[in-house]
Homo-oligomer: A and B are copies of this chain.
Amino acid sequence: GGFFYFLGGPRPTKEPVRTVLRPSKKFFLGRSDCFSNPFFLCSRHFFFSCFPHKYVYFRLCALSLKIFRFRVYLFTFVCERKMSTLRVSLCQMAVEKSKESNLSKAVGMIAAAAKRGSNLAVLPECFMCPYGTKYFDEYAEEIRPGCPTYDSISKVAKESNIWVVAGSMPERSGGKLYNSSMVFDSAGNLRHVHRKVHLFQIHSETVQMDEGEVLTAGNTAIPVSMNDKIKFGVGICFDVRYPPLAWKYAQEGTSFLVYPGAFNMFTGPIHWELSARARAMDNQQYVLLCSPARDPNAEYVAWGHSMVTDPLGRVIATAEEGEAYVDAELDFDLIKDARKRIPIIDGTRNDIYSLRWQ
């Protein structure tokens, strides 16, 4: 037995919650993953570089473990808020006609987000395909290894050690087309596919569109579990307009909702921010909307203004219309705080009404 001294792991440029432990006097090598391990082992150096958030505090903790035949006494810093924050980057990328260029740009923006310390990157709706019913069939791919879009995003997620909500793409499956979002974890594994449940229609003077002409709608809304503490829900664009979908996710314990979307110059100014704020306020959780950058020459001109709203429905980060990142730190303790102050969720009258899904 004896005391160990732990060097800091590599500087956490990619996934700040994981490091390699190197003891100085005994043979011991291990990994500590903040998301799965209740005690986060780290050096002072690592700790400070990892959690610069102004609210982060910590305490010194003594811990005795029996590992194989060694009795190990560890002095560790326990991060009090270790489960409660997540860094996200919305990649408001300019989508072009070339699929290869789009994939290359998406990969670059995801890698750059990881370099800045983000845990999750979000791409916009139709990130590899111009938005428009006439393009979907030509650009569509299956969602499986060996397909270019799947392979590109899986690879960068793994290499950059970052979760990715891959906006959306036209998905070909069983002779049908869907507007689908792939979710990859930081090991590059496909963890979820959300197929747009509410197909978009618009009939204004300047914009005409009916996705139902070529797409089939999805029928499910299932949260993604990042770990045993953090769940999130994915919707695509028009899905954000439907309280039942957000309600279903919230009932299943999500902490944030991610909507890749492409509102236009008619719906953008009147409803983009309002939708984000409304879903956040109603469900008392974070909402992330990621749009393509605006291309005034495109057939369908996206509004831009990707944004993150907090559990009180306030905009905490946003962009203008050009190509941009929207970075934000989600502090999940603020969900508890909002729900304590204004008990909307606790006040839901589950005794008199309920949502039935299929």
Contact = CB atoms under 8 A, between A and B. Distances in A.
Contact of A341 (B203, B312, B313, B356): B203
A244 B247 contact: yes
Number of identical monomers bound together in the oligomeric complex: 2
A340 interface: yes
Interface stretch (A30-38, A141-149, A194-202): A194-202
Given A242-B348, A281-B274, A356 B353 contact: yes
Nearest to A346: B201
A107 to B, nearest CB: 34
Contacts of A278: 274, 277-278, 281-282
A54 interface: no
Most chain B CB within a 10 A radius of its CB, from A201, A238, A346? A201
Given A281-B274, A358-B353, A342 B267 contact: yes
A334 interface: no
A354 interface: yes
A24 B76 CA distance: 99
Contact of A356 (B201, B277, B354): B354
A60 B274 CA distance: 43
A105 to B, nearest CB: 30
B199 A347 contact: yes
Interface in A128-164: none
Given A278-B278, A347-B201, A243 B238 contact: no
A335 to B, nearest CB: 15
Contact of A349 (B198, B201, B202, B353): B198
A306 to B, nearest CB: 20
A53 interface: no
Contacts of A243: 243-244, 247, 282
7 contacts: A198-B347, A199-B347, A242-B347, A244-B353, A274-B313, A278-B281, A355-B356
Give 9 closest A-B pairs by Cβ, nearest first. Answer: A243-B243, A278-B278, A353-B357, A201-B343, A219-B352, A204-B341, A354-B356, A352-B358, A244-B353
